[in-house]
Structure 1
Amino acid sequence: MSTTAAKTLGLWNIAGEQPELPALIDPDGRAVGYGELVAKANRYALGLEALGLETGDVVVLLQPNGSELVAAYFAAIQSGLYIVVVNWHLVGPEIAYILADSGAKAFLAHERFADTAVAAADEAGIPASARFAVGTVPGFRRVEELGAGEGEGRPQRHTAGSPMLYTSGTTGRPKGVRRPLTGADPDQVPAASTWFFGVFGIGPFDEHVHLCGSPLYHTAVLNFVAISIQLGHPAVLMDRWDPEEMLRLIERHRVTHSHMVPTQFRRLLALPDDVRAAYDLSSLRVMIHGAAPCPLEVKRRMLDWWGPVVTEYYAATEGGGTVISGEDWLRKPGSVGLPWPGSTIRILDDAGEELPAGETGTVYMKMGESKFEYHKDKDKTEKARVGDLFTLGDVGHLDEDGYLFLHDRKADLIISGGVNIYPAEIEGELVMHPKIADVAVFGVPHEDWGEEIKAVVQPAPGVEPSGALTAELLDYAATRLAKFKLPRSVDYLDELPRDPNGKLYKRRLRAPYWEGHPVP
């Protein structure tokens, strides 16, 4: 799929010069040109303006991956609106909370989530006039009515909007990360966007094709699709990720880059050798992964298969991060890389003092002079900060060359008999056992030690839990881990609770074991 060079960047500029150029490939395989995408984004923007939405107001989307979602996103971006894309795995009351907390003035849902959308809108008190649906949802107007009869131009208000992303809420109510609107011209691609893609060696109109295999409600996933389109790169959207279907799409559309998570790597590696060898993947140039720890052996096997195109980064919705190429990772296995240009990474102790290279502490970061706040949560904002640095709660160290190595989430740290134990290391070893599909490790109460190590395992397909399996897994662990890191017991579940981007909801697993005990 070729992109002939255009004179200027940006969705609306490209649409004016090359309206037939593919901007998206919808999950059904239909190509959507820049002109068509802009026409829909403009109509939605006019409709939202006609509803009375003003600069700084909020639009909430509950939609699967597709051109409708992307058009609504760009409608907000050109109209000075905040756009919240909701995790469609949430239930009605959880979505109602986000609708109310964000102050949503319009709610655009999809018929796939009709029951949840109706329950959430009712509970949050969203008026009927502000409810729109792709397809049929009771009490919602069809989205085709949004902007119908308002003409074919663009809204009078012409100022850049912004995503307002809600944190995952694994440790409580989700919080919106809301940045001040810049007042910039939405037709001009922010320098930060071209800079960010430049971190991965991706430039405007350089024949790149992006593949989106994760839900667009994730920060990075949405950013990669939006920036790709703004830089003249078509985005191939998947509705639900499937490993062989991904390989087919890479070959079909000559995909060059994607944003992935380690869970997807493991499922790709589990494909039969003949399936993996059946597709031409020679177009791949930079396959980017982050969001969750990647076991070392999984990373090595992906590099063996795809070559040095596998690039890793560590970043935050709030700003800042690191990146490491495949070549560098082979020199520094386990590292998540060096800070981005303009980004600062520091390791601090519990007193907020900086630690030297090699010593483990809490990872703090910042990106230039970037400012953010957690919406309606000043206390959370302040607790995450030391001076102008903030933390996600991760624990790690910097080596003598400035490369960052992550150990675990501080909240997941196990302290057993006064010894600090990092579950991610144990999980990374256990998950390589062929009879384990997924695993979570955490601390459970112990009268003498404070905590002991528990492993909860999702067996591989066709494997049944048993005492013999537990013995086999513990014997395996003993060949790869020091004795003090070995799980003392193993429980089994049919499936571990993860979101589609690979993040494990460990709090849900751990909570039942701590009932009646003070949580450390």
Structure 2
Amino acid sequence: MKPYLWDPWATARTDPDRAAVIADDEEITYGDLVGRADALARGLRARGLPDGATVSTDLPTGPAFFALALAALRHGFGLFPIDRDLLALPLGSSLLTSVATAAHLSARPWEGGPGLPCPVWTDAELTATRADGTDASARPPAAGRLVFATSGTTGLPQAVARARPRRPYQGVAVVERYGAGTGRGPHLMANPTYHLGTLGPALYALQAGSTVVVQRSWSPGAFAELADRYRADSAMLSPDRLTDVVEAGEAPHHRFQVVFHGGAACPPSVKRAAVDLFGPVLHEYYGTSQGVVTEITTAEWLARPGSVGRPLPGIRVEITRDGRPLPAGETGDIGIRPRAADRDPADGDVLKTGDVGHVDDEGYLFVLGRAESPRQIRTARLEHDIRLLPGVTDAAVLDGPGDEPVCFVEHRVGSAFQDPVPAIEATADMLELPCPRVVLAAPGSLPRTPSGKLRRAVLLTLAGSAPHAV
């Protein structure tokens, strides 16, 4: 099937009563969703927000949030979803200021906590605003854009604005391999967070014409129940939730057409178990807060375990060290040359990801982790190799006191337990690193961000005192 452009307004014209978003007891049709999106745009314009202005929001993922996202994309605003807990910190206000946020939209009035550097409105206030002649149907000169806060796994979160498209909003190119469209079943959003890796597949599915079912309370059993109840054809699971499903051994009776995962490294043992559970439908991606860079199918991954795939059309991945391009197989800094349409002139031609890795002879990318110095590159390689060990579900290697590596390893414990410590010590010796201190933990027990990444900054504070443990 050839790709074709589609948008929610097209779904509303052809099937206005089709369910658009379902979250717990909230449900909205496509007809009502686009009507609400247009009303929000009228309200923003009536309150004086100019074309291209950025609006932040802490609306929970559900009908109101997706209406605002569509309003921003179609009517030319920037949208910065930000967690209310992050907003309550002093850092939250500076994040809004860094992207010149013009207004904040919330489900309820802003009370308590620090003041925000912009007016705060509720979505109900905006949809009730009289337009005073403002025509929300007038197409803006360019589509809106999204702004995301980084996860802050290694430091403080930062606001990253995606490049604004040069043309009016046209929807998305509906591609068969993504399992979305008006003829497909719902997309199950099991990570209802604002991270691009978790929000992106849901927003894509909604624009393509699929119903989006938001699972706000996580458990593997509820995930399987929702997938069966709504006969979901696609889902997104961060690696930690994929691990939860594998550990529980619960797969829906209704078979997914595609299960997306990304946002953090997925140990091969977990992914192989997930393939056994769901079938060959896993679709992994790697990217930054500015967009997806690579993708890999199950068949490709089984032939190259640990790879995150090849770059999407129009995107180039460059591996360099000290500014010098490296050949296939050599580890260095991962740089991205985005498509022209996705490039912000202020960012330059090459986007530095902060990650290190290598490509193979066929252009498949392998990401080891984040590093700057040669020693950090070896540390990232150690972490990567730990994830390849049997029974390991996640790992983080940090420099502890006296430059002693501290390896936090989530590992299955049971009758088939294989002690990973000897293999870790042997790998460290091969990489000319000091003998590491290994801290074993149960799967899912280490601190994580809402998007599923290990909180390295928190682990770093534990590195000096954490004992060996199983």
Normalising to structure 2: TM-score of the pair? 0.85
Kept in 1, the 8 Å contact 2:40–2:68? The answer is yes
1:440 aligns with 2:440: no
- CA spacing shift, 1:444–1:481, aligned 2, 3 Å: closer
1:81 counterpart residue number: 77
- CA spacing shift, 1:412–1:157, aligned 2, 3 Å: farther
Pick the aligned partner of 1:217 from 186, 194, 200. 194
Figure out how many residues of one structure are paired with residues of the other and give that number.
451
Kept in 2, the 8 Å contact 1:293–1:424? The answer is no
Map 1:282-361 → 2, pairs under 5 A:
282=255, 284-319=256-291, 321-350=293-322, 352-361=323-332
Map 1:101-500 → 2, pairs under 5 A:
101-111=98-108, 117-119=110-112, 122-127=114-119, 130-132=120-122, 143-148=123-128, 150=130, 155=136, 157-159=138-140, 160-182=143-165, 184-186=167-169, 188-189=170-171, 193-194=172-173, 197=175, 200-202=177-179, 204-271=181-248, 273=249, 276=250, 279-282=252-255, 284-319=256-291, 321-350=293-322, 352-373=323-344, 381=347, 388-410=349-371, 414=375, 422-425=381-384, 427-428=386-387, 432=391, 439-446=395-402, 451-456=403-408, 475-479=419-423, 482=426, 484=428, 487-490=436-439, 495-500=445-450
- CA spacing shift, 1:425–1:438, aligned 2, 3 Å: closer
> How much is the aligned-residue C-alpha RMSD, in angstroms?
3.4
Secondary structure of the residue that 1:289 maps to in structure 2? strand
Kept in 1, the 8 Å contact 2:408–2:439? The answer is yes
CA distance in 2, matches of 1:11, 1:206: 14
Kept in 1, the 8 Å contact 2:187–2:202? The answer is yes
Secondary structure of the residue that 1:478 maps to in structure 2? helix
For each residue in 1:447-473, what CA deviation from the matched residue of structure 2 results, as whole angstroms up to 9, or x when unmatched?
A: xxxx22213467989x9xxxxxxxx99
1:138 counterpart residue number: none
1:12 counterpart residue number: 9
- CA spacing shift, 1:299–1:13, aligned 2, 3 Å: same
- CA spacing shift, 1:445–1:254, aligned 2, 3 Å: same
For each residue in 1:104-162, what CA deviation from the matched residue of structure 2 results, as whole angstroms up to 9, or x when unmatched?
A: 22212235xx7xx4345x523434xx432xxxxxxxxxx32223152699526532211
Kept in 2, the 8 Å contact 1:42–1:75? The answer is yes
2:55 counterpart residue number: 59
CA distance in 2, matches of 1:249, 1:27: 10
Pick the aligned partner of 1:35 from 31, 51, 63. 31
2:468 counterpart residue number: none
Kept in 2, the 8 Å contact 1:315–1:321? The answer is yes
Kept in 2, the 8 Å contact 1:165–1:219? The answer is yes
CA distance in 2, matches of 1:194, 1:392: 26
1:137 counterpart residue number: none
1:48 aligns with 2:44: yes
Secondary structure of the residue that 1:482 maps to in structure 2? helix
CA distance in 1, matches of 2:206, 2:331: 40
CA distance in 2, matches of 1:15, 1:96: 37
Counterpart code for 1:169: G
CA distance in 2, matches of 1:238, 1:452: 41
How far residue 281 of structure 1 moved from its aligned partner, in angstroms, is 3.0
- CA spacing shift, 1:398–1:39, aligned 2, 3 Å: same
Counterpart code for 1:477: V
CA distance in 2, matches of 1:296, 1:206: 33
Counterpart code for 1:357: A
For each residue in 1:295-348, what CA deviation from the matched residue of structure 2 results, as whole angstroms up to 9, or x when unmatched?
A: 111111111111110111212233451211111111111111122122212211
Kept in 2, the 8 Å contact 1:287–1:311? The answer is yes
Long gaps (5+) in structure 2: 430-434, 466-470
**Structure 1, 175-184 or 86-95: larger mean CA deviation:** 175-184
- CA spacing shift, 1:430–1:89, aligned 2, 3 Å: farther
CA distance in 2, matches of 1:39, 1:415: 52
- CA spacing shift, 1:413–1:100, aligned 2, 3 Å: same
For each residue in 1:211-262, what CA deviation from the matched residue of structure 2 results, as whole angstroms up to 9, or x when unmatched?
A: 1111341113333222212211111112132211111111111111122211
Percent of aligned positions that are identical: 29
Secondary structure of the residue that 1:334 maps to in structure 2? coil
1:21 aligns with 2:18: yes
How far residue 170 of structure 1 moved from its aligned partner, in angstroms, is 3.7
CA distance in 1, matches of 2:13, 2:365: 44
Kept in 1, the 8 Å contact 2:266–2:394? The answer is no
How far residue 496 of structure 1 moved from its aligned partner, in angstroms, is 2.8
How far residue 173 of structure 1 moved from its aligned partner, in angstroms, is 4.3
- CA spacing shift, 1:489–1:358, aligned 2, 3 Å: closer
CA distance in 2, matches of 1:262, 1:292: 7
Kept in 2, the 8 Å contact 1:66–1:239? The answer is no
Secondary structure of the residue that 1:215 maps to in structure 2? coil
Counterpart code for 1:158: R
Secondary structure of the residue that 2:286 maps to in structure 1? strand
Q: Which has the larger radius of gyration?
A: 1
How far residue 474 of structure 1 moved from its aligned partner, in angstroms, is 9.9
Pick the aligned partner of 1:505 from 448, 455, 470. 455
